[in-house]
Chain A
Amino acid sequence: MKERRFVRELLESKQRILVLSFVVGVVFLFLVIRLWHLQILSSDDYHAMSENNRLRFVPVAAARGAILDRTGTVLVSNRPSFSLAVIPQEVKDKEALLTLLSTLLGLDRAEMAERWEKNRSRAKYYPIVLASNISRNHVEIVEENRLRLPGIEIEMKPVREYTSRQLAAHLLGYIGEVSEKELNIAGFEEYNPGDYIGKNGIERALEKDLHGDDGGRQLEVDARGRVLRTVSESYPTVGNSVVLTIDAAVQKQTELAFGVQAGAAVAMDVTTGEILAFVSNPGFDPSLFSGKLPADVWQGYLDDKRHPLENKALSGQYPPGSTFKMITALAGLQENRINDSTSITCNGSYDLGTSTFKCWNKKGHGATNLRKSLRESCDVFYYLLGEKLGVDKIAAAAQAFKLGSPLGVELLNEKSGLIPTTEWKLKRFGKRWFHGETIPVSIGQGAVLLTPIQMVSMTATIANDGTIYRPHLVKRIVDADGKTLRETKPEIIGTASFSKESFKLVKQGMLDVVNAPGGTGGAARQYDVKVAGKTGTSQVVRMGGSKAGTAYQFRDHALFVAFAPFEKPEIAVAVVIEHGEHGGAAAAPIASRILRAYFDGKKPPRKEAAASSQDDDEDTDENVTPAVMKKPGINGEASHD
């Protein structure tokens, strides 16, 4: 019975197949009728439309916004670059034209022919660039011979110009053609292959502001692809300009002070968190990256042991060494493990169990209190203190300073550094913390890592008695008409709550480091302002330490942090010299030059200097500033008229 039902069901379905086949046939018939309508009945109309009415879109890139320092000095702008282009549809004799060009201008004929050939498949009205970045002299020759060169055009487009060449290269970053990977990132959907995009630094972080809105021309072309007329045109909008917190003069002095040494330095306004100088040395030439980077230059950058392409100020993570002693001291004061009068005896080393931890001074510092321990950077004082505190108390103090996590600078890839805790070790290695491991941590060795940005923030926080400002690089965003669109307000991101008394003691010690006899940081002393600082020498290799003649990459890092003026702090600096060996000898002099540049710049301009400034380019900068500020897009505007 059931079987019979199934058979009937199957037969019904089979009948329905015939109905479905009929429906399919009808639907396809509709397609054919529609095609008949398009291709037979209206064919002539559509054919005429395909012959005559063809619209093409030629994009015109917007000029990028400029980048300026806090005083209005232009750091990055655009300059017009001329290129020689040909519009294939207007050329009758390609070979003759190429020969004429190479004789007139002395350009490589084979190279021009190759570029032409490569773009053969593009529409015939689309200009092909035969030679880019030609000189003004060439431009004039072409203009003079206009009539003999049909189809040849001079194209002008804005090219990124880094006014001070390598100045602040890591901070500014560079631009390049957008990569396939970037096109897939959310937020970059509107970019087309071939568009330029900021690759890193400020150019990347503020891409959205700097880029501007591209424009374009709607062209009508005929069946052969020849332009008939321009249907509509939308002008590109120049990108917004970025005004940095950086002071170009301080930045320049800092970079000069580094010379060939590798390392990083950051100077920050203590009262706002504005970064005044941001240096990673050695630098590179950002302008090389927007074009085709010569292979040998690239290889040179890669082979350099000093890693010029690395942004050490942002992403370099270094053991802070003795500059970390302030943190340990503050932890000790807060936990009442030490006070103003606590004194220990340093005889050059400290034994814990079977291990011996040496003080940098093998002879020992003798009777040592907190102030002396900072001044002469006695290690044993901190070994004893650290042992009593335990690693988690030290870490808590460091975390109160917001160390161990990114501080929120505008740039991408800010590193977080590392503040070890017992919990961290358990998570990371699955092992418990050994008591002996606390000893190196108390002097900023062991697993402790800080970025130069964190070091300067730490120093500024001490100078501020605990107030932590977010370090930032962008002062404001200005549109092409000079109108301020956004302004960065100082932002307090936390407070390191230690007693005023504790801060006072630590700061007193830091003052002695620079100014008292026996202080390790005397090289940073200034004649006009009181500087407080702390030296640091951090071991790169655990054992042995640094010896004269040790291979470069095994030498110790030299560090120095400072703030000034002591009474009413304005500026904090942190300097790291990779493999510079001694903080006091290598890093402190650089900090000194940064402070010098800052305080010299603050002095009211000398009357006689202002009067004689007409013949002195460097001094005029300040007077020119307001004009530049009003029209930051000036370089961009010049480029597309």
Chain B
Amino acid sequence: MIDRRLLTNIDWILAGLVLTVCLLGIMNIYSATTPYKIVGIAYYIKQLYWMLAGITISLVVCSLDYHILEDLSYWFYGFLILLLLAVLIVGKRSMGATRWLNLGLFNIQPSELMKIVIIVTFARFFNNFHTIGGLTVRDLLIPLSLLALPAVLIMKQPDLGTATLIILIAISMAMYVGLRWSAIVTFICITIPMAWVGWAYLLRPYQKNRILDFLNPERSRLGSGYHIIQSKIAVGSGGFTGKGFVKGTQSQLRFLPEQHTDFAFSVFAEEWGFIGCLVLIFLYLSLVLWGLNIARRCNDRFGGLLAVGVTAMLFWHVVINMGMVIGMFPVVGVPLPFFSYGGTSMITSMVAIGLLQNISMRRFMF
């Protein structure tokens, strides 16, 4: 099934970058969860299992020619929309939001899968849609509807983070295809009143609070502004060289919320300081630039679109998560890929890497 020539084309730079981040993540989870009362298997061991499962899945993904995705894309899209509807109707409630769908054996979070599917769907659409000089407003009507449907469904759950992500991914892909200035200006003019409507009618009170807290953390020192303040203290007190492994006081005394998942980076920043952060940011930057490079080298439009979409997904995760931890963005539940604890994020990110690897390996086939 798999062409022998392909094996020699494995993108070792991509694999190496991902593996390094994963291992740093596991080391960091070990530190972040030391103060926890552990029942059963320790978190860092579980994360190791997730990593191995993720690698296996990414190998499966890259062994199949990505072109089959082109034919299946709209089916995936339709199926995911059904799942998202199912979540709203019969989903499992947890922490005030309905995001999970119980499949008997395990729970899945369709909004997470939607990130990949929106990439595939957009890649298919733009692959058959040709333009010179950039997309006009009219060209964007269909992709905009394709985007709006899942975005609204996910917003309803409510999962602001994921909804924002799929919108950002879609915008990134449109930018790769090319946008006319007229389209950009029109959308900015439409977005501002829309944002006002969203603020007034769509956002839940807790989401508004998070945004207000971000703008002014002192607003509720012990409420949701607490997260931002404590996280900034953790990062800032790390200083140039950090407090040392398992020596971060903010994390070891458990001041940080969700310090092994969404706020894992603040534990890292506290314990490894500016130097550590530079290393991690450099790794992510390399990963993103390498992903774009794969898109550039790819000689078929569908592959290029796919690579750009997947890279954009990783990029926005990194930027939103890190921005949240260092107080540049409001607190939304977006994990740091390969670094935060959690199976769903690991699997989705690994599928993304599998796709990139897939495209990279087959670049000589055309």
Known pairs A28-B281, A31-B319, A189-B96; A39 contacts B296 (CB<8 A): no
Q: Which residues of A contact B273 (CB under 8 A)?
A: 39
Give the residues from 202 to 249 in chain A that come closer than 8 angstroms, CB to CB, to chain B: 218, 221, 223, 225
Contact check, A9 vs B96: say whether CB atoms are below 8 A apart: no
A3-52 with Cβ < 8 A to chain B: 5-6, 8-10, 12-14, 16-18, 20-21, 24-25, 27-28, 30-32, 34-36, 38-40, 42-43, 45-47, 49-51
Among A5, A39, A56, find the residue whose CB has the most chain B CB atoms closer than 10 A: A39
Q: Chain B contacts of A218 at CB under 8 A? A: 222
Q: Is B295 an interface residue (CB 8 A)?
A: yes
- Does A123 make an interface contact (CB < 8 A)? yes
B178 at the interface (CB under 8 A from A): yes
In Å, the complex CA distance between A38 and B238 comes to 9
Stretch of B71-79, B142-150, B246-254, B357-365 contacting A (4+ beta carbons < 8 Å) = B246-254
Chain A interface mostly? helix
Q: Which residue of B lies closest to A30 (CB)?
A: B328
A121 at the interface (CB under 8 A from B): yes
Which positions 18-39 of chain B face chain A at CB distance < 8 Å?
Answer: 34-37
Closest to A53 in B: B233
Q: Which among A38, A45, A56, A223 is the interface contact of B326 at CB below 8 angstroms?
A: A38
Contact (Cβ within 8 A) B130 A6: yes
Please tell me which one of the listed residues B178, B238, B253, B315 contacts residue A12 in the complex, with CB atoms under 8 A apart. B178
If A32-B278, A32-B281, A39-B269 touch, does A46 touch B237 (CB 8 Å cutoff)?
yes
**Contact flags B267-306 to A (C-beta < 8 A → 1, else 0):** 0010001100110010011001100110110010100100
- Tell me the bound Cα distance from A5 to B132 in angstroms: 8
Task: Give B247 Cβ to nearest chain A Cβ, in Å.
Answer: 11
Q: Is the CB of A38 within 8 A of B304?
A: no
Q: Which of B35, B178, B238, B292 is close to A121, meaning CB atoms less than 8 Å apart?
A: B35
A184 contacts chain B at the CB level, 8 A cutoff: yes
**Contact in complex: A9, B274 (CB < 8 Å):** no
Contact of A223 with B249 at beta-carbon distance under 8 Å, contacts A28-B285, A121-B37 already known: yes
Chain B residues within 8 Å of A36, by CB: 274
- B232 near A38 with CB under 8 A, answer yes
Choose among A6, A18, A55, A221 the residue with the greatest number of B CB atoms under 10 Å from its CB: A55
Q: How far is the CA of A20 from the CA of B292 in the complex (A)?
A: 8
Which of A602-620 touch B at CB < 8 Å?
A: none
- B contacts with A, residue count (CB < 8 A): 57
B295's contact among A6, A8, A17, A121, by CB below 8 Å, is which? A17
Cβ-based interface call for B333 (8 A):
no
With both beta carbons as reference points, the residue of chain A lying nearest to B234 in the complex is identified as: A50
Q: Are A31 and B326 touching (Cβ within 8 A)?
A: yes
Does A186 make an interface contact (CB < 8 A)? yes
Residue among A8, A31, A53, A218 with most chain B CB within 10 A: A31
- CB pair B288 A9 closer than 8 Å: no
**Interface membership of A54, Cβ < 8 A:** yes
Contacts of A12 in B (CB 8 A): 132, 178
CB 8 Å contact bits of A578-599 with B (1 = contact, 0 = none): 0000000000000000000000
Q: Is the CB of B269 within 8 A of A49?
A: no
Taking a contact as CB atoms under 8 Å apart, the answer to whether A25 and B37 are in contact is no
Least CB distance from B45 to A in Å reads 17
B residues in contact with A123, CB < 8 Å: 253-254
B61 within 8 A of A: no
Q: Establish whether residues A50 and B237, one from each chain, have CB atoms under 8 Å apart when the complex forms.
A: yes
Q: Is the CB of B131 within 8 A of A25?
A: no
Q: CA A8 – CA B132 in complex, angstroms?
A: 8
Give Cα A55–Cα B233 distance, bound, in whole angstroms.
Answer: 12
Q: Are A46 and B281 in contact (CB under 8 A)?
A: no
Q: State in angstroms the CA–CA spacing of A34 and B266 once bound together.
A: 13
Report the minimal beta-carbon distance from B126 to chain A, rounded to whole angstroms.
10
B89 located at the interface, meaning its Cβ lies under 8 Å from any Cβ of chain A in the complex: no
- Are B292 and A21 in touch, CB under 8 angstroms? yes
Q: Contact residue range for chain A? A: 35 or more
Residues in A with CB closer than 8 Å to B234 are 50
In the complex, chain A residues whose CB is within 8 Å of the CB of B175: 16, 20
Q: Give the chain A neighbours of B222 by CB distance below 8 A.
A: 55, 218
Given A21-B292, A24-B292, A27-B319, A225 contacting B253 (CB threshold 8 A): yes
A20 / chain B contacts, CB cutoff of 8 Å? 172, 175-176, 292, 308
Q: How far is the CA of A35 from the CA of B93 in the complex (A)?
A: 36
Q: Does B120 contact A (CB under 8 A)?
A: no
Alpha-carbon gap, A31 to B94, bound state (A):
32
Chain B residues with Cβ below 8 Å from A45 are 236
Contact A38 B253 (CB under 8 A): no
Q: Are A39 and B299 in contact (CB under 8 A)?
A: no
Contact residue among A14, A16, A31, A46 (Cβ-Cβ distance under 8 Å from B236): A46
Q: How far is the CA of A47 from the CA of B34 in the complex (A)?
A: 22
| Complex contact A50–B284 (CB within 8 A) | no
Q: Mark A175-217, 1 if CB is under 8 A from B, else 0.
A: 0000000001010010000000000000000000000000000
Chain A residues in 8 Å Cβ range of B176: 13, 16-17, 20
CB closest residue in chain A, given B304: A13
Q: Which residues of B contact A38 (CB under 8 A)?
A: 232, 235-236, 326-327
Q: Please determine whether B285 and A35 come into contact, CB atoms closer than 8 angstroms.
A: no
Distance in Å: Cβ of A178 to nearest Cβ of chain B: 15
Chain B neighbourhood of A31, CB < 8 A: 281, 319, 322-323, 326, 328
Does B199 belong to the interface (CB within 8 Å)? no
B245 / chain A contacts, CB cutoff of 8 Å: none
Known: A9-B130, A46-B236, A54-B255. A16 touches B299 (CB 8 A): no
Nearest CB to that of B96 among chain A residues? Answer: A189
- B95 pairs with A189, CB closer than 8 A: yes
CB closest residue in chain B, given A118: B37
Partner of B235, one of A14, A39, A186: A39
Q: Which chain A positions have C-beta within 8 A of B328? A: 30-31, 34
Residues of A near B237 (CB, < 8 A) are 43, 46-47, 49-51
Task: Report whether B254 and A16 are in contact in the complex, using a CB–CB cutoff of 8 Å.
Answer: no
Looking at the assembled complex, report how far the CB atom of B268 sits from the nearest CB atom of chain A, in whole angstroms: 11
Chain A proximity of B285: nearest CB distance (Å) = 5
Bound-state Cα–Cα, A78 to B293, Å:
69
Q: B96, B253, B301, B326: which contacts A54 (Cβ < 8 A)?
A: B253
Complex CA distance for A50 and B249, rounded to whole angstroms: 7
With a CB–CB cut-off of 8 A, which chain B residues contact A30? Answer: 328
Say whether A9 contacts B132, CB under 8 Å: yes
In the bound complex, residues from chain B placing their C-beta under 8 Å from that of A43 are 236-240
Q: Which of B93, B301, B315, B323 contacts A10 (CB 8 A)?
A: B301
B36 cross-chain contacts in A, Cβ below 8 A: 121
A218 to B222, CA, bound (A): 10
B177 interface hit (Cβ, 8 Å):
yes
Bound: A12/B292 CA distance, A: 14
Complex A-B: 28 CB contacts under 8 Å: A5-B132, A10-B299, A10-B304, A17-B292, A17-B295, A17-B296, A20-B176, A20-B308, A21-B289, A24-B288, A24-B315, A28-B319, A31-B319, A32-B277, A36-B274, A38-B326, A38-B327, A39-B235, A40-B239, A40-B240, A46-B232, A46-B233, A49-B233, A50-B234, A50-B236, A50-B249, A121-B35, A184-B94
Residues of A within 8 A of B (CB): 5-6, 8-10, 12-14, 16-18, 20-21, 24-25, 27-28, 30-32, 34-36, 38-40, 42-43, 45-47, 49-51, 53-56, 121, 123, 184, 186, 189, 218, 221, 223, 225
Q: Which residues of chain B have a CB within 8 Å of any CB of chain A? A: 34-37, 92-96, 130-132, 172, 175-178, 222, 232-240, 249-250, 253-255, 269, 273-274, 277-278, 281, 284-285, 288-289, 292-293, 295-296, 299, 301, 304, 308, 315, 319, 322-323, 326-328
Known: A5-B130, A49-B233, A184-B94. 16 other contacts (CB 8 A): A10-B299, A13-B176, A13-B301, A25-B289, A27-B315, A32-B278, A34-B327, A35-B269, A35-B281, A36-B274, A40-B240, A40-B274, A51-B249, A53-B233, A121-B37, A189-B96
